[in-house]
Amino acid sequence: MGLTWSAGSNGGSTIIDYRISSAVSGGSYSVLSTDTSTTSYQATSLTAGVTYDFKVEARTVYGYSSEASLLNLLCATIAAVPTSVATSIVGSTVKIEWSLTTTNGAAISAYKVYIS
């Protein structure tokens, strides 16, 4: 998952780098990086279905800033393709059934059915 942020005000002192930390939502923070010199970071090894909190702090010669607004994200990916699709005709109606798919971290809110 890619994170980006704006540099913000530095009070006249050059920003040396950024410290990025994360936690499973509501848990204790772990530092992911302390030497990020750009305003982006690629978070890896995240688990689908888990909500993470991220925070970013800037460092100048005077130390670290207070944290930027906390970012709270659910790690999810596109749901898997439905399987075991079957159709049947009931009177003048076509009935379509399929097996539930793997959600990959987020609830499925809808399915789209296409007819050609």
Place of tokens 């993470």: 52
Using one digit for the tens of pLDDT, what is the confidence trace for 98-115?
Answer: 887 777 777 788 888 888
* For the chain, domain boundaries: 2-74, 78-116
Q: In this model, does residue 20 exceed pLDDT 90?
A: yes
Instruction: For residue 2, give the amino acid letter.
Output: G
Distances (CA, A) of 18 to 10, 33, 41, 43, 61: 12, 8, 10, 14, 12
CATH fold for domain 2-74:
Immunoglobulin-like (2.60.40)
pLDDT band of residue 67 (cuts 50, 70, 90) is confident
What is the full DSSP assignment across 55-96?
A: EEEEEETTEEPPPPPPEEEE---PPPPPEEEEEEEETTEEEE
Q: Per-residue pLDDT averaged across 27-52, rounded?
A: 88
Give this prediction's pTM.
Answer: 0.65
